[in-house]
Structure formats: C-alpha cells, structure tokens
Amino acid sequence: MADAVRKMKQDWLDLLQRELAAAGSSDPARDAFVIDAYLVAANTRRELFGDDSRLALAGELAHAVIDRL
C-alpha cells in the first residue's frame, strides 16, 4: 500500500513539473514543490483539525504560482 501511495505522489509531482515546464516555468521542480506544499498544508489542516478554512487560500496561492508564468 505504501508503495502505491508513493508512486501516486511521484506521478502527481512528475505531471505537475511537466505541465509547469510546458507553461514556461524557469524552475518547474521548485514551482511544483511550492504548489504541492500549499495543497498538502491545507489538506493536513483539514484532516487533522477538521478545518476547511484554508483550502481556498491554498488554491489561490497555487494559482498565483501558475499565474506568474
């Protein structure tokens, strides 16, 4: 099970990096890390504390990375 989760996460990061590179990112690995970090942080808060209040903010911050490309 853990291997499947790791593979799914790696596939997501790889896809994100490819799309960011295609969109013109000068550092797609960094931008993918930042986007993923925002989303993971908001999801962790939701899962651990039942707090959905940061989900929209995480989406806005992730979109801001994309919008600057």
Task: Write the pLDDT tens digit of every residue in 1-58.
Answer: 999 999 999 999 999 999 999 999 999 999 999 999 999 999 999 999 999 999 999 9
Contact status, residue 34 vs residue 23, Cβ threshold 8 Å: no
Q: pTM of the full predicted structure?
A: 0.90
Domain range enclosing 12? 2-67
Task: Write the pLDDT tens digit of every residue in 58-69.
Answer: 999 999 999 999
Domains identified in the chain, total number = 1
